[in-house]
Amino acid sequence: MHVSLLESDGGVYGVGMPLIAYFNRKITDSSAFTKAVKVTVNGKSAGGAWYFENTGRDGQALEAHYRPRTYWPAHASIKVDFPVKGLSAGPGLIYDDSLTLAVSTGAANVSSVDCSAEKMTVVSDGRTVRTLPTSCGKATTPTYTGTKVLMQKGENDPKTGKMRPDGEVRMTSNTPGNRYDEIVPWSVRVTNSGEYVHAASWNTGNIGSRSTSNGCTNLNVADAKWFYGFSAVGDVVTYAHTGGKPMPSWDGYGDWNLDWNTWVRGGAVHARSK
């Protein structure tokens, strides 16, 4: 069986970014993998743990996320050694490759959205940079509460294979009474299920005063453009007073919504006791 990685050498990510490994078959024993793989931050052990979960990635059967107990340090060097080739992944399963990874973190961009106050406070390396008015999800489509990690900025146009201009994303809904098909600029994804921080020129009358969106975080166009340029994949945004349910850990990079004791138990795959 084969292991591949989401991140690439030389990548720079926000301090909330999990390391993500993909497996083309479902492993049944994580013992050899978790024992062999070493993760260091600035040359010292990261002290984190792997959590295994189902995946929606094409061609893969399982994925594992690695995170420390708290966010990664800012402006840090992260190195990972995966010397797993030939090791067991459970009865009848052997890893066919070994890998290494070297990435780094940028600034500690850890922002917060208070949906009752309708504002986003953008913090970088402990300093408040800006406060932006918002409009969160309305009562029938509330925004998830909890800790979210920026997953993607903009998207590729399937017709050209190139990034759409101006951070555009096509957003659609077939829900009766709430159908739409729009190209929305300056969009940053924060959940797999479709929550974004994005520009909402049609909603300027409500931004800063009330929650009326379909679950996304609506910003004024100039603010959304600024946030899009400021942000990096892996940055953290926390949400409070949304009126919605907690973000599921599997809906994107929701890893920080699991407490540490749950995380270290390993999720869908456990190490077999010896």
Q: Which residues are catalytic?
A: 198, 216
Closest among 220, 203, 18 to 120, alpha carbons compared: 220
Q: Which residue has the tokens 């084969």?
A: 2
Contact 214, 137 (CB under 8 A): yes
Q: Which of 35, 104, 70 is nearest to 263 (CA)?
A: 70
At 98 the three-state DSSP class reads: coil
* Non-local CB neighbours of 92 within 8 Å, separated by 6+ positions: none
Residue 241 zone, left/alpha/beta (φ > 0; ψ -120 to 50; rest)? left
CA 192 to chain centre: 9
Q: Are 113 and 132 in contact (CB under 8 A)?
A: no
